[in-house]
Amino acid sequence: MAGYKPVAIQTYPVLGEKITQDTLYWNNYKTPVQIKEFGAVSKVDFSPQPPYNYAVTASSRIHIYGRYSQEPIKTFSRFKDTAYCATFRQDGRLLVAGSEDGGVQLFDITGRAPLRHFEGHTKAVHTVDFTADKYHVVSGADDYTVKLWDIPNSKEILTFKEHSDYVRCGCASKLNPDLFVTGSYDHTLKMFDARTNKSVISVEHGQPVESVLLFPSGGLLVSAGGRYVKIWDVLKGGQLLVSLKNHHKTVTCLYLSSSGQRLLSGSLDRKVKIYSTTSYKVVHSFDYAASILSLALAHEDETIVVGMTNGILSVKHRKSEAKKDSLPRRRRPAYRTFIKGKNYMKQRDDILINRPSKKHLELYDRDLKNFRVSKALDRVLEPSCTIKTPEITVSIIKELNRRGVLANALAGRDEKEISRVLNFLIRNLSQPRFAPVLINAAEIIIDIYLPVIGQSPVVDKKFLLLQGLVEKEIDYQRELLETLGMMDMLFATMTRKESTSVWQHASDGFLENKKVES
């Protein structure tokens, strides 16, 4: 006939964040290292080549840090005014940066003085990038122009004057040397082709564009501006794919994780959100101390570097894969014991009968199956169970109550055992989800042990503690009821047409307990 049905353990909604693969992955970083810069950190860029140094643009300096160094290994400080957007070339040898005075400077990372100086912009250059062929530089400036420079000749090749406001962000395609995208404060994103002299795609973002990003495939374009992050399909001629509104303030920076599966966005609301690039849902988010201006991930997501408005650079390193020292394992039976009969091929006339799989029962279930109720209760009152999984303990108490044997299971305990039960009650009695079951258990305990009270100072102390807890809880409830009354009065004065009622939160479970205690 039907087998033993194990006790149904009540599951409660997990408080706080849900644990998913993503939370595990993104929480697996060490505590951040904080580096103070001279001003707001406007750009962080990782070198694409090992050893993956990163360039930090803050105020009029560009610092280059090694991956684990807290001091800059190199500094470029020959800027008259604020520097912007220090970016590595694909081979990691050259670095380009714009500046407030309208100049674009090219550095060799081993040298100190600029190799090239591109003059042509009349106002601050906020965005620069290398094209895919490594020999050209794209720059966008506050004079509304976008220029393409040739590195060998240090000459201007093309100028696009299609934007009608500051050009603040840009990005070159990693596949096609002629394509690049710029975003501007005129709310548009434009994709330019160096082979023609005008934009090929122009899309309306709706807000001043703060950051743009091209997917490695070049098929999707991500733009951030205002509170929105928008994804555009380039292959469909710039059709809007998704519009994400997950930040409370302007989104300032975007970054793709190394696998391309996750998109990160940093915002002035001091949060970094991580989206899945398949469903475009937020899978995780980080909090930071100040508004975020720049964001970058190292190769293989090993490091997250975030630059903030207060000049702090936060560097988080991934925890190294903890090498679990394998415990000397119990000697198992030989491999062939497990494989025995597993590779037997069924013959034509054979009927295969599998061995009925044995149902695994928890220890407390085994006790309950054999009606050893006190033993089952003892098992779930072990500290390992009560602290980690109090819901199991509560479920067993509930089950014992259902079977009508709770009093039997609680009776006949010595000082140590009863104080264990009382400890559990003190810890969990005030939790609303456990309260109905535990109040009942507390009543039974008081009934059973009332005659022997005063014989053990330890247990007496616990009882007093429990009493204090209950009294405090009653006070809370009273206050809550008063508040509720006030709110009801307020609601009643509001004229409302529909007669939907207000939720009532009063749980009067605790009021009964007062009777028991007194």
Partner 1 sequence: MVEEESVRVVRCGGSELNFRRAVFSADSKYIFCVSGDFVKVHSTATEECVHILQGHRNLVTGIQLNPNNHLQLYSCSFDGTVKLWDYVDGILIKTFVVGLKLHALFTLPSAEDSVFVIINKEKPDVFQLVSVKLPKSSSQEIEAKELSFVLDYINQSPKCIAFGNEGEYVAAVRDFYLSVYFFKKKTTSRFTLSSSRNKKHAKNNFTCVACHPKEDCIATGHKDGKIRLWRNFDDDKKYTYTCLHWHHDMVMDLAFSVTGTSLLSGGRESVLVEWRDATEKNKEFLPRLGATIEHISVSPAGDLFCTSHSDNKIIVIHRNLEASAVIQGLVKDSNIFTGLMVDPRTKALVLNGKPGHLQFYSLQHDKQLYNLDIIQQEYINDYGLIQIELTKAAFGCYGNWLATVEQRQEKETELELQMKLWMYNKKTQGFVLNTKVNMPHEDHITALCFCNAEKFENPTLVTSSKDGHFKVWILTDDSDIYKKAVGWTCDFVGSYHKYQATNCCFSEDGSLLAVSFEEIVTIWDSETWELKCTFCQRAGKIRHLCFGRLTCSKYLLGATENGILCCWNLLSCALFVFKPSEPRPLYIQKNISREEVQWGVFVPRDVPESFTSEAYQWLNRSQFYFLTKSQSLLTFSTKSPEEKLTPTSKQLLAEESLPTTPFYFILGKHREQQDEKINEAFESELVQLPLTENIPAISELLHTPAHVLPSASFLCSKFVSSLLLSKETKSGEEIPEDVDMEEGKESDDSDEENDFTEKIQDTNNTDLGEDLLHQLSKSEEKELRKFRKVDYSWITVL
Which residues bind to partner 1, rule: CB under 8 A?
A: 1-8, 10, 20-21, 276, 278-279, 281, 283, 368-369, 399, 401-404, 436, 440, 498-501, 503, 512
As measured in angstroms, the least distance from the Cβ of 482 to partner 1 is 21
Tokens of 222: 């991500």
Unique residue bearing structure tokens 């259902």: 402
As measured in angstroms, the least distance from the Cβ of 442 to partner 1 is 13
As measured in angstroms, the least distance from the Cβ of 491 to partner 1 is 14
For partner 1, the closer of residues 194 and 368 by Cβ is 368
As measured in angstroms, the least distance from the Cβ of 393 to partner 1 is 17
As measured in angstroms, the least distance from the Cβ of 470 to partner 1 is 17
Are 305 and 44 in contact by the 8 Å Cβ rule? The answer is yes
For partner 1, the closer of residues 343 and 501 by Cβ is 501
As measured in angstroms, the least distance from the Cβ of 371 to partner 1 is 9
As measured in angstroms, the least distance from the Cβ of 19 to partner 1 is 11
The DSSP result for 422-489, as a single string, is HHHHHHHTT-TTTHHHHHHHHHHHHHHHSTTTTS-HHHHHHHHHHHHHHHHHHHHHHHHHHHHHHHHH
For partner 1, the closer of residues 78 and 369 by Cβ is 369
Q: How far is CA 300 from the centre of its chain?
A: 17
As measured in angstroms, the least distance from the Cβ of 112 to partner 1 is 48
Question: Across the strands, what pairs with 144?
Answer: none
Tokens of 206: 């709706």
For partner 1, the closer of residues 240 and 511 by Cβ is 511
In 277-426, the DSSP E strands lie at: 282-287, 292-297, 303-308, 312-317
For partner 1, the closer of residues 63 and 379 by Cβ is 379
For partner 1, the closer of residues 419 and 513 by Cβ is 513
- The closest alpha carbon to 441, from 432, 451, 429, 431, belongs to 429
For partner 1, the closer of residues 10 and 69 by Cβ is 10
Query: Angle CA(114)–CA(117)–CA(123) in degrees, nearest 5?
Result: 125
**With left for phi above 0 and alpha for psi between -120 and 50, is residue 450 left, alpha or beta?**
alpha
For partner 1, the closer of residues 283 and 425 by Cβ is 283
Contacts for 198-205 with beta carbons within 8 Å, 24 or more apart? 198/160, 198/162, 199/160, 199/162, 201/234, 201/237, 201/238, 202/162, 202/238, 203/232, 203/238, 203/240, 205/230
Taking the C-alpha atoms of residue 154 and residue 62, their distance in angstroms, rounded to an integer, is: 22
